[in-house]
Amino acid sequence: MTGTEEGKLITQVAQGNESAFLAIYDRYASRVHGLTLHILGDPMLAEEATQDTFLKIWSRAREYLAERGPFLPWLLTIARRVALDRLRLEARRPLLSDSNDPEDAWQILPELESLSDESRWRSMYFAVQSLHPDQRKVIELAYYQGMSQSEIAEVLGWPLGTVKTRLRAALEKLREAWNEK
Amino acid sequence: MARDEHLPHLENIPAYAIGALDAEDVAALEAHLKTCASCRTELAGYRALNDSLLMAVPPRQPSAALRKRLQSRLPGAQRTARPQWSWSFSRMAVGASLILLLVMNVYSILQMRALQLEQTRLNRQIRTGQTVMSMLSYPATERLSINSDKVVGSLLVDKERDIVALIVWNMPQLSENETYQIWLIDPQGDRVSAGVFSPESDQAYTTQVVYPKQSLVDFTGVGVTVEPAGGSEKPTGERLFKVDF
């Protein structure tokens, strides 16, 4: 699907076209669900968050502005917020280890039409996985669990300064990886 | 701006970019960002990481049921998979069917009503015929001739049971606004109404039975006149015949 075709579909979704909405869903449901499942760690909660995300897209598609950036990051940003809100609502303690086996994830990947999308997410996946475990842990809590540095320090029992240093180092490495791609 | 002044803020930019900076540090950094272009540039570089972290999660396919559930919860969706004309055609077909059904129901009701009226008329005709037959066979019944310039027939009078029967041939048909009215005539010549009737349309003679409220001994004759539909209190129209008994 080209950017133009995608743009037309989103315009149609904004006009209440169900077929266009389902085409968008079919293309991105696995990306949204992958993110909500990673954040919430519970398949049932993750499906509810995925559903809420697409319902928001249905009612807010007209707010998407193509000139401000691609559709997928916008969609995933909404999905992240929905999942983090749900996480706070459930008052769940953050998961400290990834319950999903990364190797298993490769086997269940759907076939992606866009090689650029596929290569993009795989490169960033590897960039995160290549971080030092302590750095990966702070990234996990800060970005995927929505915690502040002080909350991370409290949960992990680390000094606040250590958390800041490890988070900064992790983000610096990811930025380098991002710029190299 | 000296690097020493930047440093505390610069160190907070990565955490701020992904929303992990503590609330008490946010205000100070945002105030600094308003006056420092290099820190804004630094922030923009880290902000791009948001996209990369969103992308760094393996896709997972949700259950097939989610798609159906989502589809059923879309408010105000335009389900235009079928062409508009087919929907319109369906609506027209349903509308036409309803109208046809309504017409058939009205027609059936009218038919039923007509049949009920015909049945009532035939029942009355049978009862009247049976009454006339029984009066003819009764010894006390007096049979008188009706012989006017308009009609002929017979008048049966049973003063013991207070029954009068008219058998009149070739009664002229009346307009919708007219009716025949029977009068009982007392010795003073006053008329008392004994009912209204219409001539039979499917046979040459008309039979009518009268059950007076008073005894027939109070009367001396019977007459029939043409009156407005519904009848009159006293005779007002043309007389068809008069018979004394």
Across the range A170-174, mean pLDDT stands at 91
Number of domains in chain A: 2
| Strand pairing category for B191-197 and B221-228 | unpaired
Same domain, yes or no, for A2 and A88?
yes
Domains of chain B, start order:
3-55 (no CATH), 142-244 (2.60.40)
Statement to judge: residues A34 and A107 lie in one domain: no
Same domain, A27 and A46: yes
Q: Is the pLDDT of residue A118 over 70?
A: no
Neighbours of A58 (CB within 10 A): 21
Instruction: Clarify whether residues A104 and A180 are in a common domain.
Output: yes
**Are residue A76 and residue A141 in the same domain, yes or no?**
no
Instruction: Please check whether residues A39 and A24 belong to one and the same domain.
Output: yes
At B82 the pLDDT is: 46
- Who contacts A142 (Cβ-Cβ below 8 Å, separation ≥6)? A148, A149, A152, A167, B15, B18, B19, B20
Please count the residue pairs, one from chain A and one from chain B, whose beta carbons lie less than 8 angstroms apart.
Answer: 154
Residue A104 and residue A36 in one domain: no
Mean pLDDT of B91-111: 86
A56 and A21 housed in the same domain: yes
- Here the ipTM equals 0.79
| Beta-carbon separation of B53 and A143 below 8 A | yes
pLDDT digits (tens, 9 = 90+) for A46-83: 999 999 999 999 988 888 887 777 888 889 989 998 99
Contacts of A46 in chain B (CB under 8 A): 60, 62
- Residues B198-230 have pLDDT tens digits of 888 778 888 888 888 888 889 999 999 999 988
Q: Say whether B64 sits in a helix, a strand or coil.
A: helix
pLDDT category at B88 given cuts 50, 70, 90 is low
Could you say which of A67, A92, A117 is where a domain stops? A92
Q: Which domain holds residue A17?
A: 1-92
Question: Quick check: B81 pLDDT over 90?
Answer: no
Q: Which of A92, A119, A146 is the last residue of a domain?
A: A92
Residue written as token pair 């007002």: B236
Asked whether the beta carbons of residue A167 and residue B73 sit closer than 8 angstroms, the reply is no
**Contact criterion met (CB < 8 Å) for A147 and B20:** yes
**CATH number for the domain that contains residue A78:** 1.10.1740.10
* pLDDT tens digits, B114-168: 888 888 878 887 888 888 888 888 888 899 999 888 889 999 999 888 899 999 9
Query: Are residue A53 and residue A22 in the same domain, yes or no?
Result: yes
Q: Does the distance separating the beta carbons of B14 and A139 come in below 8 Å?
A: no
If asked whether residues A13 and A87 sit together in one domain, one would say yes
In terms of C-beta density within 10 A (0-12 exposed, 13-18 middle, 19 or more buried), how is residue A28 classed? Answer: buried
Residue finishing a domain among A40, A57, A92: A92
How many CB atoms within 10 Å of residue B50?
A: 17
